[in-house]
């Protein structure tokens, strides 16, 4: 089957991270099983989403893994000039949500697997398709656990993220954090008698930006990466309910993308020290929750 035809079908599944991906996985599993592949489906606890792991060729040795995620980012509020979930060909280009990130690669991997299934392979070819990558690489964890316990693990893995067709041999580490600021509620007419949690959050974000500025000025750059130093970024902030109430709670999500040479814990420790002034306010508190960490992998970049 032509890669473009597979891609057309994949784009037609609106697999935004919040939505189920099981129809897409069933389509891929049927394609692969019909070609003689061994297919393992790993469902999430709600049965709405699933990972897929397929093997073509011998089962008694390590192979080569092609890995991709099946979810895509939302399209709401964006000025799409073409239907996002219908593949459109124009001027030799293919348009649709996920054509680049990363259903294009998934379609290519499926097409390669179908061709490989007609050959006598000495080295097995594996496909790994995951869910919930765009919301923090959450879905792939059960697949990694399965591989960790498998008798034969792939010798190496090719991940088809968009890299402008350049080979990226490394990836910055990622630490995702949620920071909650707790203040003391009050009427806005008496604001100085209360403690504004949004103001605390702003102080913390300001501290975070100071740390970023310091890192960019003082650390040894690694030019293998597009951004040659470790970065901090606030991606979401929530707090407050009404203008005339001093809010007692605010939280924000931030992340650290660190170079292999930098320890994200060192950066977090600096942020924790910046929290210290909160103890000077009665009832003031910062709390760092849901701390998740993914390691960096060697040198190289553009993932």
Q: Which residues are catalytic?
A: 71, 133
Binding segment (CB under 5 A) for Zn ion, from list 85-93, 99-107, 110-118, 249-257: 99-107
Q: Which residue is nearest to Zn ion (CB)?
A: 101
Residues 102-121, one symbol each (x = binds Zn ion by CB under 5 A, - = not), give x-------------------
CB of 133 to Zn ion, least distance (A): 6
71, 101, 132, 222: residue in contact with Zn ion (rule CB under 5 A): 101
Which residue's CB is nearer to Zn ion, number 14 or number 277? Answer: 14
CB of 87 to Zn ion, least distance (A): 18
Question: Based on CB atoms, which residue is closest to Zn ion, 101 or 222?
Answer: 101
Piece of the chain touching Zn ion by CB under 5 A; list 34-42, 100-108, 139-147, 268-276: 100-108
Quote the crossing angle between the two packed helices 3-12 and 103-116, to the nearest 10°.
130
Residue among 279, 253, 290, 285 at smallest CA distance from 182: 285
Q: Are 35 and 113 in contact (CB under 8 A)?
A: yes
C-beta closer to Zn ion: residue 44 or 161:
161
**If binding is defined by CB under 5 A, does position 262 make contact with Zn ion?**
no
Closest to Zn ion by CB, 191 or 303: 303
The residue among 7 and 271 lying less far from Zn ion, judged by its C-beta, is 7
CB of 165 to Zn ion, least distance (A): 15
Choose the binding region for Zn ion from 54-62, 71-79, 80-88, 101-109 (rule: CB under 5 A).
101-109
> Nearest CA to 94 among 17, 9, 163, 1?
9
Residue with Cβ nearer Zn ion (102 or 208)? 102
User: What is the closest distance, in whole angstroms, from the C-beta atom of residue 265 to Zn ion in the complex?
Assistant: 27
Q: How far apart are CA 15 and CA 28, in angstroms?
A: 14
Strands ordered across the beta sheet of 249-258: 231-239, 249-258, 173-182, 285-294
Extract the tokens encoding 288. Answer: 């760092």
CA–CA gap between residue 82 and residue 17 (Å, rounded): 21
**Could you give the string, one character per residue 161-200, with x where binding to Zn ion holds by CB under 5 A and - elsewhere?**
x---------------------------------------
Nearest distance, CB of residue 302 and Zn ion, angstroms: 13
Q: Minimum distance from CB of 235 to Zn ion (Å)?
A: 16
Residues 6+ apart with CB under 8 A from 145: none
Kindly identify the residues of this chain, within the stretch 129-168, that bind Zn ion according to CB under 5 A. Answer: 161
> Which residues bind to Zn ion, rule: CB under 5 A?
101-102, 161
């Amino acid at each position: 089957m032509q890669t473009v035809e597979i891609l057309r079908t994949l784009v037609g599944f609106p697999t935004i991270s919040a939505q189920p991906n099981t129809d897409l996985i069933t389509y891929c599993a049927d394609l692969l099983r019909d070609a003689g592949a061994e297919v393992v489906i790993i469902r999430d606890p709600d049965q709405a989403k699933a990972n897929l792991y397929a093997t073509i060729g011998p089962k008694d040795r390590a192979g080569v893994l092609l890995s991709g995620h099946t979810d895509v980012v939302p399209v709401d509020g964006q000025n799409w000039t073409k239907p996002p979930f219908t593949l459109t060909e124009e001027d030799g280009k293919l348009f649709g949500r996920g054509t680049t990130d990363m259903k294009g690669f998934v379609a290519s991997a499926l097409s390669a697997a179908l061709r490989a299934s007609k050959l006598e392979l000495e080295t097995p070819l594996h496909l790994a398709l995951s869910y919930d990558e765009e919301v923090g690489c959450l879905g792939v964890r059960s697949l990694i656990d399965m591989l960790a316990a498998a008798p034969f693990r792939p010798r190496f893995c090719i991940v088809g993220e968009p890299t402008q067709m350049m080979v990226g041999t490394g990836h910055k580490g990622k630490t995702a954090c949620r920071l909650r600021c707790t203040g003391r509620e009050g009427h806005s007419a008496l604001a100085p008698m209360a403690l504004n949690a949004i103001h605390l959050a702003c102080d913390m974000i300001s501290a975070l930006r100071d740390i970023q500025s310091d890192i960019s000025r003082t650390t040894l750059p690694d030019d293998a990466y597009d951004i040659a130093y470790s970065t901090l970024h606030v991606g979401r902030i929530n707090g407050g309910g009404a203008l005339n109430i001093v809010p007692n709670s605010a939280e924000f999500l931030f992340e650290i993308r660190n170079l292999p040479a930098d320890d994200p814990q060192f950066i977090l420790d600096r942020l924790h020290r910046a929290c210290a002034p909160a103890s000077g306010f009665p009832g003031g508190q910062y709390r760092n929750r849901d701390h998740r960490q993914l390691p960096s992998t060697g040198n190289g970049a553009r993932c």
